[in-house]
């Protein structure tokens, strides 16, 4: 299998697994227990908290462990909206191309009486900062904009967004799930007040993530989503996944240390893939900004091709037609629709995303695989259209 779907999930780095194994076997204590094994587990959790805080330029006390970015997004949006101190501010601003883990909580908050502004993007998936500036009012509580889009890799100017929000006294939440370990993010420099992430996007384990929650200048108030033990300073009750948290800390430390080298290497491989596909399919178009996007991500539309059929014709190559969350419900890409892509572009779009273990020979093999599949699906389509009576029934 050639795995080019790293924006959906990444393989666990063996070095990360090595750090986790002791906490899955002999060091299995509950981090909330008072005895020696519990203290040992709690110490491991705190070391991981320090590692993640260092990667973000944060204070360790500002890290709240969650089951992943979806929970962190929900805690950020719903938790802040429920805080009594913000009761007079009932307006949220987000972007139409955000992850469903942001858009769906915004919809729920809207149903509960809050007002939500969903900003458009241009054809390259970029947000207009003037539109954002104009959307802010005295009633605005929070702006939620992702650092990097999961489908196109488009990078939003979060430093400028953070500065704008801070100047207007508005909280800034950033879903940085795709950006952590791929792009440098410093919460102080970017003036981020809340930030969400998942370990499995940077070669850590699934089922563990975190929310960064600013403690000072300004101190962000947040209500918990559920109760039952008061863990994580009362913000996220539940027994901590010690092994997963240890893995997250190890994974983020490795990702940051190797980020520059990996970004250059993956960019080179992605460009080889992009050029090769455009040579083989000259009418194909790349979706997203030509250079303001993640180095590992290529979203490309093949006209006249059904992307689902194309992927079925490549059983040994893993790619996707949209974000994993959207593919699970088999919906067309709302991200590309927000970018004014045509129905044909959306139907023919495939996302390829590279990772730490992607090799040059895999890119060469992927190009040959896609080329063969394009030929096969094209021939099948031509045969179907030329079959007696088939064209009329299709049109009907």
| H helix intervals, the chain | 14-24, 36-56, 69-82, 100-111, 129-135, 158-168, 242-257, 259-280, 307-312, 324-327, 334-338, 343-347, 360-386, 390-395
Please report the domains of the chain, with CATH numbers, ordered by start residue: 13-257 (3.40.640.10), 259-395 (3.90.1150.10)
CB 210 within 8 A of CB 63: yes
The 10s digit of each residue's pLDDT in 356-369 is: 999 999 999 999 99
For residue 307, pLDDT over 70 is answered with: yes
- Distance between CA atoms of residues 159 and 144, nearest Å: 13
Catalytic residues: 325
Stretch 180-209: mean pLDDT, rounded?
Answer: 98
CB 377 within 8 A of CB 177: no
9 HSE (CA, 13 A, CB side)? 11
- Distance between CA atoms of residues 204 and 201, nearest Å: 7
CA trace torsion 292, 218, 134, 112 (10° rounding): 100
Instruction: Name beta bridge partners: 5.
Output: 353
The 10s digit of each residue's pLDDT in 114-141 is: 999 999 999 999 999 999 999 999 999 9
Compute the mean pLDDT over every residue in the chain, rounded to the nearest whole number: 93
209 HSE (CA, 13 A, CB side)? 25
For residue 246, pLDDT over 60 is answered with: yes
């Amino acid at each position: 299998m050639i795995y080019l779907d790293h924006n959906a999930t990444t393989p666990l780095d063996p070095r990360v697994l090595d750090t986790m194994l002791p906490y899955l076997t002999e060091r299995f204590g509950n981090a909330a227990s008072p005895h020696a094994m519990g203290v040992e587990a709690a110490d491991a959790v705190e070391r991981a908290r320090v590692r993640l805080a260092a990667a973000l330029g944060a204070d360790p006390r500002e890290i709240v462990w969650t089951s992943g970015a979806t929970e962190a997004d929900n805690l950020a949006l719903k938790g802040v909206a429920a805080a009594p101190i913000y009761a007079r501010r009932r307006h949220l601003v987000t972007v139409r191309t955000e992850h469903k883990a942001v858009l769906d909580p915004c919809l729920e908050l809207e149903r509960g009486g809050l007002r939500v502004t969903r900003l458009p993007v241009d054809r390259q998936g970029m947000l207009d900062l003037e539109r954002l500036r104009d959307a802010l009012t005295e009633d605005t509580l929070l702006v939620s904009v992702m650092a990097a889009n999961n489908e196109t890799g488009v990078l939003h100017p979060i430093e400028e967004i953070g500065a704008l929000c801070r100047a207007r006294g508005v909280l800034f939440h950033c879903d940085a799930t795709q950006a952590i370990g791929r792009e440098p993010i410093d919460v102080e420099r970017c003036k981020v007040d809340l930030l969400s992430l998942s370990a499995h996007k940077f070669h850590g384990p699934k089922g563990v993530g975190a929310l960064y929650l600013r403690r000072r200048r300004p101190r962000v108030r947040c209500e918990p989503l559920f109760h039952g033990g008061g863990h994580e300073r009362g913000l996220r009750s539940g027994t901590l996944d010690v092994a997963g948290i240890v893995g997250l800390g190890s994974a983020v430390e490795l990702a940051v240390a190797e980020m520059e080298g990996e970004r250059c290497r993956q960019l080179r491989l992605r460009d080889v893939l992009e050029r090769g596909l455009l040579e083989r399919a000259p009418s194909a178009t790349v979706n997203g900004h030509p250079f303001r996007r993640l180095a590992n991500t290529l979203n490309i539309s093949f006209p006249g091709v059904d992307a689902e059929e194309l992927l079925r014709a490549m059983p040994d190559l893993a790619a996707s037609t949209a974000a994993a969350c959207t593919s699970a419900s088999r919906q067309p890409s709302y991200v590309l629709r927000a970018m004014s892509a045509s129905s044909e572009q959306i139907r023919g779009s495939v996302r390829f995303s590279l990772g730490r273990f992607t090799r040059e020979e895999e890119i060469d093999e992927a190009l040959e695989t896609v080329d063969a599949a394009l030929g096969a699906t094209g021939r099948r389509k031509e045969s179907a259209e030329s079959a007696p009576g088939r064209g009329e029934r299709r049109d009907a």
